[in-house]
Structure 1
Amino acid sequence: MAIINFYKPLGWTPFECIEEIRRMHPEWKNDPITYTGRLDPMAEGVIVFLTGEDRHQKEAFQNLDKTYHATFLFGLSSDTYDALGIIQKGSDPTRDQIEQALTSLPGTHILPFPPYASYKVQGKPLHWWAQQHRLQEIHIPHKEMRVNHSHIETVSSERLDNIRSEVFSRIDRVTGNFRQAQSKDSWKNLGDSEQNYWISVVTLDVQSGTYIRALAHSLGNQLGCGAILLSLKRSSVGSFLEDGSEYKESYQQASPHL
């Protein structure tokens, strides 16, 4: 029937994307539509949707390599591994330490799933166990994740008040119950608004199933300072590119100023 290259706006769920696809294409109003990959609420970018008989190709599309533009923030940690979690202060790495750690990204990594993920353990998503405060009852499995190529775009320092303002703007766009108020409170409790934190923007070409949040957390552990995924954009899924995606034209999300 149809293969749809759709640009998921920041804050939307895949189901909201499906609703928009049906609105834009009334001819598919009664057709089954499925998505071939997820993006976290705080992420935006390309998702491929399939309708009708094309849904049977879902696994092939799920296995396509993906390209991301990731913004990592160093010196903080989060229970979700991104900016929408409960934030805690870490320590201050140096620029040289960060740049050295970033060079370790290409290759294969065996990492645990993020605690807030849809992967199921004992029949329930990991995020259910986390929300119930029962993670200690289960074993979080590890997964092979592979970075085919990475390119460090920038490494810069930014004041906390500027970071926080951008994060709050992004959190306010997230719909549903993702502890938005608690997350914002934890950001407010970090203290000195004039303190600077290191931020790096990295382009990553990865194999399917690679959690960029897990890579961020791993970098923080490697440096001993903590790190989170501040923002994420998926620019391609296989040969499906951001520039050719539907809804991109009407969704002009401003690029982060960080």
Structure 2
Amino acid sequence: MNGVIVIDKPRDFTSFDVVAVMRRLCGQKKIGHTGTLDPMATGVLPLLLGKATRAASLLDDTDKEYRAGFQLGCCTDTQDTTGKKLQECGIKAQKAQIEAVLPYFRGNIWQIPPMYSAVQKNGQRLYTLARQGIEVERDKRPVTVYELILNEFDENTQSGVLTVRCSAGTYIRTLCADIGEKLGTFGVMSSLRRTRAAGFSLEDAVSLEDAKRLSGQGTLEERVRPTESLFLSRPALRVTGAQAQRFRNGGGLSLERTSVLPQNQKDGAVLRVLSPDGNFLGLGAVDMEKAELSVLRLFCEAGG
């Protein structure tokens, strides 16, 4: 199989657990994912099959959307409810107070990665150090929160739900903790469901149980989407037969001899390259110095 299958990851599974299950169901070893989800998180986990694994490094900057539960009044070593409780605070927040602080966390903001994260410090994963009881200084990192909405909040239980649409690399756990701090109390993430990633939503996803059933029926491949579906936001360029052959073999295409629109002729612009019959060949990147569309990544066989 070559392409993308979107899994609705169940709780308490790591992303690698899901990959292991799907390797068995698909009968192939070459499977990757587009970004990990913590074990407590559920939701959209696009998996790359076969040649589609070549796309992994090109998807790091895709935006994501989450529905996150949070609890005010306590903090843990992991910034979520799976961790060890460290402190509690009796201060109660009101819904209006939360609404008032949310604008501080919209737009371009800075976050300090949590110790229980895969970020590396001096060649070691932070979570490895955290499990040894070691805490180190971490540098702030820029992230972007495009949308942050308070969906519900119970003032009695001090628990609520947020919708967050953000850039890759945003820690929702840290966002919950920082909101709590801004309110003069503590905050932890109590649940997390990813509702959109890499351009896919929950409507596109299949549960692991359904994947097992479809595999048993021999119809799982019907849920595999073409690799091109990862890049539908990129402009498409249909080329001639001769140009398709050259591109397949790694050769750049003269911009003057293609139909690349003027608005797309910007250095570094990425386009989907299609054969005369509309088959996806790969991605090309505009190189204005050479006045050509260079091969960025092929998803077809060379010369085929």
TM-score normalised by length of structure 1? 0.75
The aligned residue for residue 201 of structure 1 is 161
Contact in 2 for aligned 1:113/1:140 (Cα 8 Å): yes
Contact in 2 for aligned 1:75/1:225 (Cα 8 Å): yes
The aligned residue for residue 16 of structure 2 is 15
Unaligned runs of 5+ in 1: 158-195, 252-258
Contact in 1 for aligned 2:91/2:184 (Cα 8 Å): no
Identity of aligned residues (%): 28
Structure with greater contact order relative to length (CA < 8 Å, sep ≥ 6): 1
**Of 229, 235, 238, the match for 2:189:** 229
The aligned residue for residue 55 of structure 2 is 57
The aligned residue for residue 258 of structure 2 is none
CA 1:69/1:248 → structure 2, altered by over 3 Å: closer, same or farther?
Answer: farther
CA 1:249/1:243 → structure 2, altered by over 3 Å: closer, same or farther?
Answer: farther
Q: Please identify the structure whose Cα radius of gyration is greater.
A: 2
The letter for the 1-side match of 2:186 is: G
TM-score normalised by length of structure 2? 0.65
The aligned residue for residue 188 of structure 1 is none
Q: CA deviation at 1:91?
A: 2.9
The aligned residue for residue 72 of structure 1 is 70
The aligned residue for residue 93 of structure 2 is 94
Unaligned runs of 5+ in 2: 212-304
**Of 188, 200, 205, the match for 1:240:** 200
Counterpart Cα distance in 1 of 2:123 and 2:76 = 25
The aligned residue for residue 122 of structure 1 is 122
Counterpart Cα distance in 2 of 1:35 and 1:18 = 8
Counterpart Cα distance in 2 of 1:145 and 1:93 = 29
The aligned residue for residue 150 of structure 2 is 152
**Of 220, 229, 237, the match for 2:180:** 220
Counterpart Cα distance in 2 of 1:156 and 1:105 = 21
Counterpart Cα distance in 2 of 1:127 and 1:98 = 30
Contact in 2 for aligned 1:44/1:233 (Cα 8 Å): yes
Counterpart Cα distance in 2 of 1:5 and 1:212 = 21
Matched residue of 1:197: which SS?
Answer: coil
Taking only aligned residues, the RMSD between alpha carbons, in angstroms, comes to: 1.7
Contact in 1 for aligned 2:93/2:183 (Cα 8 Å): no
The aligned residue for residue 186 of structure 1 is none
Contact in 2 for aligned 1:147/1:206 (Cα 8 Å): yes
The letter for the 2-side match of 1:220 is: G
The letter for the 1-side match of 2:89 is: G
Counterpart Cα distance in 2 of 1:97 and 1:151 = 13
The aligned residue for residue 254 of structure 1 is none
Q: Deviations 1:103-145 (Å, cap 9, x if unpaired)?
A: 433212111001100111111110111111121xx32121112
Contact in 2 for aligned 1:83/1:228 (Cα 8 Å): yes
Matched residue of 2:105: which SS?
Answer: coil
The letter for the 1-side match of 2:121 is: V
The alignment status of 1:36 with 2:34, answered yes or no, reads yes
Number of equivalenced pairs: 208
